[in-house]
Structure 1
Amino acid sequence: MNNRKNIYLMYVIIFLQGFVFYGPVATLYRQARGLSMSEIFLIESISWILMIVLEVPWGLFSDRFGYKKTLVFVNVLFLISKIVFYIASSFILFLLERILLAIVFSGLSGCDTALIYSSIEEDEVQSVFGRYSAFGTLGFLLASILSSFIVAVSLDYTALFTIFPYALAGILTLLLDEVNGDSKVKPKFKESFKQAFNDKSIILFVISIALIIEVFQSTTVFLNQAQYLKSGIDAKYFGVILAGIQLVRLFSVKSNYLSKKLGNCKAIILLYFLVTLCCIVLIFTANPIVSVTTIVLISFSVAMIGPIEIEIKNKTIRTSNRATILSIYSMVASLIASISNIIIGITAEQSLEMGFRTCSMMSILAFILMIVYFKLVKEKITKM
């Protein structure tokens, strides 16, 4: 199926949802409202656990009732979560915001990918998803630039102004076309789970990706701001730095070129190595240029990995219950992420350096698992 309308609408929706004006100062915003670093990571971990519980039910719902209905509902909740974030001033309200986001992310997980994948030709997967990622990055880039000006007026305004683009994104979701032609079929969880891990090696891939994404999340969202302050960078420059980082993430559109040049295996291994090296450097440096450069490289590497990851996962699925299987993959990833998040949070509370040491060890483990995965895939192809 080739539905260009869906593709273009999803580009615009992800672009609008990139306008998170509080992104560059998210940790500082929460701390200004009374949260400690350990409370921030605790809330994040609770959110991950809830996502684990909701992932598969949402996938089953999407496959049965349609991708559009699911996206409409979760994007409305997305808007509500931004409103709650703006009014939050206590642990309970910030926890509520993350609970809403857990519902949203578990609903979006697999569903947006399944809708786009069902609207394009198989040979354009990496290019389309590369652009999809880039549009989200572009929105966040513009928001990061504007954030510097908004912060100068009021930290609170960064949360307030985020509400409006999310309202527009929710409206545009109503214009999507439904593509789930098998929605009347009731997929069974046990059957879907067996299908998801029919090839046992895919679980190594899923765990590896989950670890590297958690490292990316921790280093570029939570630990980076403390690292900038340690390096002597004023908070007013955080928005500019984040804008530069997001600009680099636009190279995700070139992921297809990199994988064609090196192959999926070599491309991912190279990018993993870069993430690991940067985490190790961050343990020891207090230099502002080195600090920003390593964070940029981590963000760039994971942005390039994204489209390759999506292609590999989707090509393993040969059944109609695509959203359910993708949700199962996400459920496993969320489990790994929640455990990893708690560990990083505990170690980061002791010291920033300990936080980066933990990220380095997780990157090394992810690196090893990915090498083993590709080795098993190669052996399987050789036997065929």
Structure 2
Amino acid sequence: MRFATACIPAYVIERLFWEQRGMTIQDVIYAEIVFALTLVVLEIPFGLMVDRFGRKIGMIIGTSFECLSFLVLLHAFSLSSFLFAMVLAGIGTAAISGTEDALLYESMQQIGAGDRFEQTVGRMNAVGLGTAGVAALLGAWLAQSFDLITHYYISFCFLVCAVLASCLLSDTHSARPATERTNDSGWNRLLKIPAFVRIVLFTVMFGTTITFLDEFWQLYVRDQGIAVSWFGIILISLMTAQGMGNLLPKPTRPYTVLCYLLLLYMSGIILLAVIEGRWSVLLLIGIFLIYGWSEPVLTTLLQDCLPDGRRATGSSVVSFVESLATMAAGLGFGHISQTIGLNGAYFYLGLTGLLLGLGMMFVLRIRG
């Protein structure tokens, strides 16, 4: 299923396709806000649902709505159509959010391999990124000979395969007793745990900023004078860097390393806005490498501190906060990109993240 959901040739030309259909950067920001709003409304309800009824149903619903979103995009020529597609995609993402990690974590616990969860997550992410890289090469090649809509037809077919694969999954989670479901006092204690709060902060800082880098890198490299034919190679380089980050060894004290890498990461985004020319792509690759390192570390830290009966819901809460942060950052990002350009928007994003990161480090040091 991971292979099918990652093999999406449309991603390499996504922004160009939207631009071809008349969508501006501001329209894309509106679409991202609608997507984030959908997540905000539905993520926690879906998390509660899959914690109660099992993980498999969440995976089936998620892949099905992702498939429907691409079906709408095939026929989208107006902002309203693109926004509707983002609603469907948001429903799909909300259903899968937290469910996949919870399913994997519980499966590994059942077979006595829970201590290898972080390593397994890193490898799965690397496989997914490798598959996406192959899809990017295919997408770049198709862009030279076929209309951009061809990418979406092929992507739709792979998503249909993902729906079929999700139906073959084995659920590892049974419904919790009613007394356990109605007892929410554990959440009040969980929110007071410093480790959980730190995980939320780090996840939001990394996740929110990478969203805008991932969404607009195509327009950024185009502005650096790089031809579309190179987009596949660039996307593969970004995914390879992210995959290598997933596979890099992790320290025994990850919080200290996360703090310093977060500052380096945000500084890189600022430099990305300042540096002109094709060499800036190397900086972009370095940023994705740092983000890739943080993914399995934060996922493992989160799963380790969540109770079994709230595992999917807890992941959904983290993603919920990240969606709120994405909407807030997106308003400023969209306005600045329309006023002074994409580089200015990236400078705003990096500077804001750097200041917040410094503030977070200061607070964490005070609290020990």
Taking structure 2 as the reference length, the TM-score comes to 0.92
State whether residues 192 and 324 of structure 1, in contact with CA within 8 Å, keep that contact through their aligned partners in structure 2: no
C-alpha offsets along residues 156-208 of structure 1, whole Å, 9 cap, x if unaligned? Answer: 11111111111111111111111113445462485464244131563343134
Equivalent AA in structure 2 for residue 339 of structure 1: A
Secondary structure, in 3 states, of the residue corresponding to 1:99?
A: helix
Residue of structure 2 equivalent to 1:127:
119
Equivalent AA in structure 2 for residue 353 of structure 1: N
Secondary structure, in 3 states, of the residue corresponding to 2:51?
A: helix
State whether residues 139 and 151 of structure 2, in contact with CA within 8 Å, keep that contact through their aligned partners in structure 1: yes
Residue of structure 1 equivalent to 2:19:
31
Residue number among 211, 222, 236 corresponding to 1:229 in the alignment: 222
- Tell me how far apart the structure 2 counterparts of residues 67 and 195 of structure 1 sit (CA, whole Å): 25
Counting aligned pairs with the same residue, the percent is: 19
C-alpha offsets along residues 257-300 of structure 1, whole Å, 9 cap, x if unaligned? Answer: 1334xx312332343133122112112211102x2111111111
**Judging changes above 3 Å, is the alpha-carbon distance between structure 1 residues 164 and 183 closer, same or farther for their aligned structure 2 residues?**
farther
State whether residues 205 and 369 of structure 1, in contact with CA within 8 Å, keep that contact through their aligned partners in structure 2: no
**2:198 is the counterpart of 1:210:** no
Q: How does 1:89-128 map to 2 (within 5 A)?
A: 89-120=77-108, 121-128=113-120
How well do the aligned residues superpose, as a CA RMSD in angstroms?
Answer: 2.0
Equivalent AA in structure 2 for residue 212 of structure 1: F
Equivalent AA in structure 1 for residue 276 of structure 2: A
1:112 Cα shift? 0.8
Equivalent AA in structure 1 for residue 247 of structure 2: K
Once structures 1 and 2 are overlaid, which stretch shifts more, 361-370 or 344-353? 361-370
**Judging changes above 3 Å, is the alpha-carbon distance between structure 1 residues 192 and 342 closer, same or farther for their aligned structure 2 residues?**
farther
1:127 Cα shift? 0.2
Residue number among 113, 130, 140 corresponding to 2:132 in the alignment: 140
1:104 Cα shift? 0.9
**Judging changes above 3 Å, is the alpha-carbon distance between structure 1 residues 37 and 321 closer, same or farther for their aligned structure 2 residues?**
same
State whether residues 43 and 97 of structure 2, in contact with CA within 8 Å, keep that contact through their aligned partners in structure 1: yes
- Tell me how far apart the structure 2 counterparts of residues 112 and 128 of structure 1 sit (CA, whole Å): 13
Residue number among 176, 199, 204 corresponding to 2:193 in the alignment: 199
Secondary structure, in 3 states, of the residue corresponding to 1:150?
A: helix
**Judging changes above 3 Å, is the alpha-carbon distance between structure 1 residues 154 and 373 closer, same or farther for their aligned structure 2 residues?**
farther
**2:261 is the counterpart of 1:271:** yes
For structure 2, the 5+ residue unaligned runs are none
Residue of structure 1 equivalent to 2:306:
317
Residue number among 33, 41, 49 corresponding to 1:61 in the alignment: 49
Residue of structure 1 equivalent to 2:357:
367
1:374 Cα shift? 5.3
State whether residues 220 and 295 of structure 1, in contact with CA within 8 Å, keep that contact through their aligned partners in structure 2: no
State whether residues 102 and 311 of structure 2, in contact with CA within 8 Å, keep that contact through their aligned partners in structure 1: yes
**Judging changes above 3 Å, is the alpha-carbon distance between structure 1 residues 101 and 196 closer, same or farther for their aligned structure 2 residues?**
farther
Secondary structure, in 3 states, of the residue corresponding to 2:276?
A: coil
Residue number among 285, 295, 319 corresponding to 2:284 in the alignment: 295
Q: How many residues align?
A: 361
**Judging changes above 3 Å, is the alpha-carbon distance between structure 1 residues 191 and 88 closer, same or farther for their aligned structure 2 residues?**
farther
Residue of structure 2 equivalent to 1:165:
158
Residue of structure 1 equivalent to 2:213:
219
1:319 Cα shift? 4.1
**Judging changes above 3 Å, is the alpha-carbon distance between structure 1 residues 297 and 168 closer, same or farther for their aligned structure 2 residues?**
same
Residue number among 236, 240, 249 corresponding to 2:233 in the alignment: 240
Residue number among 49, 62, 70 corresponding to 1:74 in the alignment: 62
Secondary structure, in 3 states, of the residue corresponding to 2:273?
A: helix
Taking structure 1 as the reference length, the TM-score comes to 0.88
Residue of structure 2 equivalent to 1:9:
none
